[in-house]
Homo-oligomer: A and B are copies of this chain.
Amino acid sequence: MPHKHHTQDIETRIASLLKRSDLSVTESRRKILHLFLEQPGALAHGDIEKKAGEKFDRVTVYRTLQAFVEKGIIHTIPTADNSIRYALCKDDCAGGHHHDHHIHFVCDSCGNTYCLDDVVTPEIKLPKGYTAAHVEVVVEGVCKNCKG
């Protein structure tokens, strides 16, 4: 057993993530962060309200997500169906500086949205006069869990 910090208690991980972000650790923040950590996909506001049950006020969910985005714990993923999705920033991203260079994948079959952290956004050659500050790529198709 070389190292065991990946066995680290999830609650401890959550608490330290919050503290590192200058957020006081409250029940709603722990709970919502838990939801993100226990599954691989992205979550929309509605998903969280549902999963959290009657536990929190809607306003609390809004404010919590907003705080997480501001602190770089989660990031938003654009959609064409008027429902922002949020996903955990990966370790090297949550550190403070957003990388934001990965693409997003929406599965037509299961409906989940995943960050493909290993797939880097391509260079886009724009027409004369246009300057790119940021490139967002969303690929839609069938994910590896749904294929076959």
> A residues within 8 Å of B by Cβ?
76-84, 103, 105, 108, 116, 118-119, 122, 124-144, 147
What is the total number of copies of this protein in its complex? 2
Q: B residues within 8 A CB of A126?
A: 105, 116, 119, 139, 141
Q: B residues within 8 A CB of A132?
A: 139-141
Q: Whose C-beta in chain B lies nearest to the C-beta of A109?
A: B131
Q: Are B147 and A139 in contact (CB under 8 A)?
A: no
The residue from B77, B129, B141 contacting A130, defined by CB atoms under 8 A apart = B141
Q: B residues within 8 A CB of A118?
A: 127
Most buried by B among A83, A127, A130, A134: A130
Chain B nearest CB: distance from A80 CB in Å? 4
Q: B residues within 8 A CB of A128?
A: 144
Chain B nearest CB: distance from A139 CB in Å? 5
Q: Are A129 and B143 in contact (CB under 8 A)?
A: yes
Known contacts A119-B126, A122-B122, A136 near B133 by CB under 8 Å: no
